[in-house]
Structure 1
Amino acid sequence: MASATLSRPASDWEQRYRRTVITADTVTTAVVVTSIGSFFGARDAANWHEKWTILAFGTELLVLAALAVSRSWAPAVLGQGAEEFRRLGRSLFTAAVVLALGGIALTSRNIKLWIFVALPAIALTTMTARYLLRLRLHKQRKEGQCLRPVLAAGSVETVRDLISRARKFPHLGWRVDAVCTTDGLAPDGDQLYGVPVVGPLADVASHVQRDGYRVVAVTPDPHWSPETLQRLAWNLEGSDAEMVVAPVLMEVAGPRLHVDAVLGIPLLRVSMPTFTGGRRAVKGIVDRLGAAFLLLFFAPLMVTVAVLVMVDSRGGALYSQRRVGKDGHEFTIYKFRTMVTGAHRARAGLADVNEGAGLLFKLRRDPRVTRVGAVLRRYSIDELPQLFNVLTGSMSLVGPRPPLPEESAAYGPDIRRRLLVKPGLTGLWQISGRSDLPWDEAVRLDLRYVEDWSLALDTVILWKTLRAVVYGQGAY
């Protein structure tokens, strides 16, 4: 009955976190519209719809209504994944459209201020506030707090994988407290991977009703048929449990998955990955504009680094290398030189002490790395010249890691899917541990990006990259 005592606090913290997010959205929006209205608003306008107080109040009401309608405060999306920010962005875009149409209808002269200044400022502040709240929530989850008690139900193999993932990524908020297997048995006696096995799959609903689990995670097993899943869903009605069914397509998620009812049958429709089209064009524009801005911003730092590199060791400031990009086309990548001149010729003699995963060559204490180079690598400053690659179109700000030609030549058909998109200056691998990642995990993250790419995901990755760089996670 331990799970029963855990379920109520989980429900309490979920509601408390939701109220905190709503309050943060409301307060930040009010501060933005009040500040902009005070500084730029038309206080002495003759018509009521020109007065800044009316426009400010109307803008805030419109934004909050859009957030509510788009279910941006749904507990299922708060605190994890890109969907939270995707809904937030969609809500603010909707508010901008409605505000523009309202301004045209009222012939308001001041509406541009609220569309092009207020709403972008609201987007920046609300996203920042939500990100800070998410950081605090993730910290609590890593300490064992604010977790949802989960009952996992499926085959021994699939449930074991689910338990492993839940423990590896506690920030997602799942804690598997109990397991139901096909026959109610486990290879380790009465436990599976340290989690008690409480019964067979046929008894899932009764355990949920009695012990109050918040999530029922259904993993693949021959027992699960459309009839048994439907019956389980009916039996869970009236409880606080959320039923989650793991599809066979484990690495396909996000905007590519859609549930459609065809001939009365619920079908999981998987759309094709997006490699061309309007969103890719927008990504290309954002890449080039972002690279140009960052080059201007970091120009003084880059000049300083170039001088330090040349003073520290003999050779030029930049290092060029051939890499493989989109569709297997090779290009030249640029970095600040972090090794002694001729370091590539010494690599063969270090093959026996290679610490890299899979096809990668890495050494935590590489004797070829210079003193300045070690600092540049730790904080990824050596990567800054790659902004020129982004500016010229051979790379993207976000994407898979650009492989060496010899690495690419050893790719199998599955791994070659990494080459369907442009390589990135940063990516999921950058924010998930970089060189500390096992090879299989690095490949999985790159393939996940290729399959589930979205502008919202790019935004989240860019945001998280800053923290990864500051802390030097997995960089050597």
Structure 2
Amino acid sequence: MHDLAAPSTSAVAPPATTGPPSVGAPEAVANTLAPSLESSLVIEPGGVQRSPRTRSGTRQTRWALRYRLLLLLLDFLSCSAAGWAVIHMYPQAEAGFFDRTVLNWTALLILPAAWIFALWVHGAYEGRYLGLGPDEFKRVLKAIISLTAVVCFLAFTQKADLSRLSVGTVLPLTATVTLLVRFVTRKALHVIRKRGRASQRILLVGTLGEALSVYRITTRNPNAGLVPVGICLTEPTSEQASLPIPVFNGKVEPLDRVKQVGADTIAVCGARGVSPEALRRLAWQLEGSGVDLVVAPSLTNIAGPRVHIRPVEGLPLLHVEEPTISGVGWLIKGLFDRLAAFFGLLLISPILGIAALAIKISDPGPVFFRQARAGRGGHTIRVWKFRTMYVDAEERLAELLGSNETDGLLFKMSNDPRITRVGHFLRKTSIDELPQLINVLLGEMSLVGPRPLPVKNEEFAGDVRRRMLVRPGITGLWQVSGRSNLSWEDAVRLDLYYVDNWSLAFDFMILYKTLFAVMKRDGAY
């Protein structure tokens, strides 16, 4: 139910009373919602006959099939290339009773076929894991572990005199090449999706508030490949929504609206307005139609690993685990932070020395700026940073408060007159943040975490205080998502998402993305 789809190239013109003149119009259009006396969602009892032929002929399945076939071909070639490389790296590595011809066929055909089968068994070709998130890569790693175990088992039971060096090289090399190829393929998919193709076209079904919430989330990241093309309300309302997609408030069956706007997926937003019986009948109706059905629960900003479905007497219960902010993983994070900070300070010491000299020459005053910030649990820490402003910056802050370009606790101004010429360069390149490795080495901060806020405990209430459950970080989800271009609300949302869904893999992903964020320099000032 989560296949990828290429959007229709033709615009659909809904009735004049229900939306804009064409779907996907660039300008925002105010949709006036005419009130009605009953729910607008009509779902007839029963369902259509299940028809694989009908589904295979849909636009969505054709595109998804092509993408999966491309991955299958690339995975096969990746394993074949690894086998070919190992054969030429170790030309004397015979495999017991295998002669050279059999060994070549095994490395170039049999092993790649087994690799494809292992990937398929572990779900590496399922549409819901492709295009976004770490699950696709996790399944590749699980597949290589399984294939390695099978090869070792067969070698042991058949007493085959396999070259340990060859086996120990070809399988890790296969996994490495496959991960690299899939990463490049994913980036190419993201480029295509940003151009409006290879995406699922979604009809949102629910109340206006629920539908708008899902609309904002799905349009926030075009790489996800989810493109809302219409909203079908389940409750009458007289409110107005300024959206570039039509909002339907008339009594209508969802399948009719799907055909009208050219959607290939129905997304039920929340539980209000759609009863369990209506949702079940809707699922029956969509069988064989080629239209997917997804349900967006009210529980948001909780990552997949924390959510598990627990069926009880046919009732699917969502079991939500507590955030993992303690235990072995947390100890490994602390150890990694300190080791990375120690060796990082040694490695970049020449850069730190040059930056300190430039600051001292450009403006009289201290090299470092030590500001009190809130650490884990609200405890005060003093953050190490290179000084990027004139020495009287704090005294001049009051006269600039009216020019603050953010809506949160931090003061941000793109053309702050208090920043020195050297300071502008240090901020653009994020070199001014590097001394915070000292805080990491002391255990006051982490490499990855929420940004430390100024010490104003009276303002750390409600959701904002929850971000202090973990140590603040030099980089974080906010930095790889827009930095200073983000609103305060978005910054807090990203910090809370990090706290609620922390994992070591999440940290490494943020560190990887930080490199590109620093090079891009977007939002750094």
Same fold (TM over 0.5): yes
Q: Does the alignment pair 1:255 with 2:305?
A: yes
Between 363-372 and 95-104, report the one with greater CA deviation: 95-104
Aligned residues: 471
1:410 corresponds to which residue? 459
Q: Does the alignment pair 1:355 with 2:408?
A: no
* Separation in 1, partners of 2:126, 2:213: 27
The Cα of 1:195 is off from its aligned counterpart by: 2.0
Q: Does the alignment pair 1:162 with 2:214?
A: yes
The Cα of 1:174 is off from its aligned counterpart by: 1.6
When residues 231 and 3 of structure 1 are mapped into structure 2, their CA distance, relative to the original with a 3 A threshold, is farther
| 1:335-358 per-position Cα deviation (integer Å, ceiling 9, x unaligned) | 233223353343334323222321
The Cα of 1:270 is off from its aligned counterpart by: 0.8
Alignment of 1:303-452 (within 5 A): 303-406=353-456, 408-452=457-501
Percentage of identical aligned residues: 37
Structure (1 or 2) with the greater helix fraction: 1
Q: Does the alignment pair 1:232 with 2:282?
A: yes
1:23 corresponds to which residue? 73
Alignment of 1:7-406 (within 5 A): 9-36=59-86, 38-39=88-89, 43-44=93-94, 46=96, 48=98, 63-95=115-147, 111=164, 114-115=167-168, 121-182=173-234, 187-188=239-240, 193-198=243-248, 203-208=253-258, 213-292=263-342, 294-406=344-456
> Could you tell me which amino acid in structure 2 is paired with residue 157 of structure 1?
G
The Cα of 1:262 is off from its aligned counterpart by: 1.3
Query: Is the Cα contact below 8 Å between 2:205 and 2:266 reproduced in 1?
Result: yes
> Could you tell me which amino acid in structure 1 is paired with residue 478 of structure 2?
W
* Separation in 2, partners of 1:414, 1:49: 67
When residues 249 and 5 of structure 1 are mapped into structure 2, their CA distance, relative to the original with a 3 A threshold, is same
> Could you tell me which amino acid in structure 1 is paired with residue 375 of structure 2?
G
Q: Does the alignment pair 1:457 with 2:509?
A: no
When residues 66 and 426 of structure 1 are mapped into structure 2, their CA distance, relative to the original with a 3 A threshold, is farther
* Separation in 2, partners of 1:174, 1:8: 17
The Cα of 1:184 is off from its aligned counterpart by: 7.1
Query: Is the Cα contact below 8 Å between 1:43 and 1:52 reproduced in 2?
Result: no
> Could you tell me which amino acid in structure 2 is paired with residue 470 of structure 1?
M
Q: Which has the larger radius of gyration?
A: 2
Between 222-231 and 19-28, report the one with greater CA deviation: 19-28
Between 58-67 and 309-318, report the one with greater CA deviation: 58-67
* Separation in 1, partners of 2:370, 2:149: 46
> Could you tell me which amino acid in structure 2 is paired with residue 158 of structure 1?
E
The Cα of 1:396 is off from its aligned counterpart by: 2.5
* Separation in 2, partners of 1:96, 1:392: 41
SS at the partner of 2:480? coil
SS at the partner of 1:397? strand
Gaps of 5+ in 2: 1-6, 12-56
Query: Is the Cα contact below 8 Å between 1:100 and 1:111 reproduced in 2?
Result: no
* Separation in 1, partners of 2:287, 2:342: 54
**TM-align CA RMSD:** 3.4
Gaps of 5+ in 1: none
> Could you tell me which amino acid in structure 1 is paired with residue 222 of structure 2?
P
